[in-house]
Structure 1
Amino acid sequence: MWLKMDALQPPGSFKIRGIGAACEHHATNGKRRFVSSSGGNAGIAVAYAGRCLSIPVSVFVPETASDRAKALIRQEGAEVFVHGASWQEANERALQTVDAETAFIHPFDDPLLWTGHATMINEVVRAGVPFDAVVLSVGGGGLLAGVSEGLDRNGLQHVPIIAAETEGAASLAAAVKAGRPVELPAITSIATSLGARKVAKRAFEITQNRPVDCVVVDDSAAVDACMRFLDDHRVLVEPACGAALAVAYAHAERLARFERVLIIACGGATATLAQLQAWQTSLA
């Protein structure tokens, strides 16, 4: 098992790769404000990038966003607006505020993001680490699209991707089962960072064009994986990342046919140890 430790990125998750690239692109092209929608981690990344680039940021979050997520976004100097019961509603409101001087930074569905996220595969290859499968979590599908692009870029199109989701937020697995992108009626998983009711079109297309194995774990397995990961590696991640880790901890049989597995420890800054412990108790 190899771990790509994007949990250690300054804003706490892999999101800064693609979001940072997109923000730099728009800043270079004269945009003077960034607007984004997020359940947490994408908003933190946009706020961080905006602060680094001295560009003001507004982030729209749904009512389900945690107080910690909102505090971390504000800590980077961004404005936070709460709107709607889910990310979709927050996203619609964010789009209404965009003008000619504003760049809208989508949390997952943007080729600029995917190209930025692809750099993690470049780094693994450059480090000389061999692998014959990649395990990652899927929410809206931005990480999946980025890893897919990174594999293509490095001549690794044949390497399977194990796409992990939690029950109640498994929009990719639902799309694969239906043969087309479908919208979940609601997000019922505690892994709200995976809470896109419908995956990006690009994410579904990837499942049709390369080997992708969908694995759905329950919330309890995701939280237990976070706690075991904290014991094993002294790094705290949220259940959205725990979904991928749970494939190794609780569903190792899904990896038995591989020799060298790369797991994307995508991170997430919106959970605390106390919250993980409370979830573990309530889900027991």
Structure 2
Amino acid sequence: MYPSISSTFTEVTKRLGTNFRVFFKNELEQPSGSFKLRGLGYLIGQSLAKAKVMKKEGVQVFSSSGGNAGLAAAYAAQFYKVPCTVVLPIVSKQVVITKLESLGAKVIVEGRHWGEADAFLRETLISKLPESIYPVYCHPFDDPIIWDGHAKFIDEVVESFSKEDLSHLKAVICSVGGGGLYNGVVEGLDRNGLKEVPVVAVETIQAPTFTEAVKAGKQVHLETVKTIATSLASPYISEKSLENYYNHKTILKTIDDIDAIQGTIDYYDKFHKLIEPACGAAIATVSKRLDLLSDLQLKEDDIVVVVVCGGSAVSEEVIQEYRKML
């Protein structure tokens, strides 16, 4: 038994008014607020099972995150009744810290961005733990078990579609930061015999980790990452993501932070639910930035699936701040 749930899968074509069919996979419905619970919950469950076989005691969960991976780790740790420590960068919002503490997690704020928070967790915190503590380290995105967990929502999409609808599936659209979600989408498509279905991966110009890696032909570490879409603010993309880019048709798009914010507001206005700009980046492709999908040459019966990945670092007040920015 794992803490994630099967999220709803809905057609939203009429609400958006597109000339092709749009379906949302609503991962914001996960108990932690985002898709991250899929992979992190699976990783923690597997790790605890392994620790039990090894007869380890003093098991504790450790996570570094801009917010959503930490929330997923904290929720899963509470679900399995083990302690959890989360290290957040200084750009993290108070709403995330409050939610983490409400889940019983110990919160430490350290580093300018996720990369520095993660380095502190691994090199300063975990490395100096007493032998009485058995650490379960949860990387936010770079672990095959996490990708396997994320891929399960593609299994659910395939189960929900008829064979006729599947034949019209032209793309899965997702936001990309460190590449965990993207890797999960690719794995899910490939294992369901849908290798020919492209992935539209959307990142912000302010956090171009994937774009820079593709340009260089190798993993690139950015010195600074300053984006309003803080959940996309990874200083690097996973090496597996670069491998997937070359082996699975991927349409990589970059948009401005403002477009991601617009996507967040569009989703709030049309569906009355809260998501982060990191998720708004994907929503923007089917709301205000349809030009990003021009490569697909979509027709009336064609279908795209958008991963509504969610995000908890947002509130009604934050939405109003975003409106003022626009």
TM-score range for the pair, normalised by the shorter chain length:
over 0.9
> Residues of 2 paired with 1:173 and 1:213: CA distance?
11
Aligned counterpart in structure 1 of residue 320 of structure 2, from 273, 277, 283: 277
Q: Which has the larger radius of gyration?
A: 2
Q: What is the alpha-carbon distance in structure 1 between the residues aligned to residue 259 and residue 112 of structure 2?
A: 26
Task: Give me the whole-angstrom Cα distance separating, in 2, the residues matched to 1:106 and 1:93.
Answer: 13
Q: Structure 1 regions of 5+ residues with no counterpart?
A: none
Distance 2:71 2:230 in 1: 15
Q: CA deviation at 1:276?
A: 2.5
CA deviations on 1:123-177 (whole Å, 9 max, x unpaired) are: 0001125322010000100000111110011001111000001121121011112
1:18 to 35, 39, 42: 39
TM-score normalized by structure 1? Answer: 0.96
The separation in 2 between residues aligned to 1:269 and 1:82, in whole angstroms, is: 17
Partner secondary structure for residue 162 of structure 1: strand
Residue identity matched to 1:196 = S
Contact persistence 1:215–1:247 (CA under 8 A): no
Assess if the C-alpha contact under 8 Å between 1:220 and 1:280 holds in 2: no
Counterpart for residue 100 of structure 2: 73
Q: Determine the structure 1 residue equivalent to 2:249.
A: 211
* Aligned residue in 2 for 1:64: 91
Q: State the shift of 1:42 in Å.
A: 0.3
Q: Which residue of 1 aligns with 2:48?
A: 27
* Moved segments of 4+, more than 3 Å: none
* Structure 1 counterpart of 2:120: 93
User: What is the CA RMSD across the aligned residues, in angstroms?
Assistant: 1.3
Deviation at 1:47, TM superposition (A): 0.3
What percentage of aligned pairs have identical amino acids? 37
Gap regions ≥5 residues in structure 2? 1-21
Of 148, 154, 169, 1:121 maps to: 154
- Which residue of structure 1 aligns with residue 3 of structure 2? none
Q: Could you tell me how far 1:48 is from its partner in structure 2?
A: 0.2
Partners of 2:67 and 2:176 lie apart in 1 by: 15
Which secondary structure does the structure 1 equivalent of 2:24 belong to? strand
Shift of 1:269: 0.8
For this pair of structures, how many residues does the alignment match?
A: 283
Larger deviation: 29-38 or 248-257? 248-257
1:244 aligns with 2:282: yes
CA distance, structure 2, for counterparts of residue 175 and residue 276 of structure 1 = 32
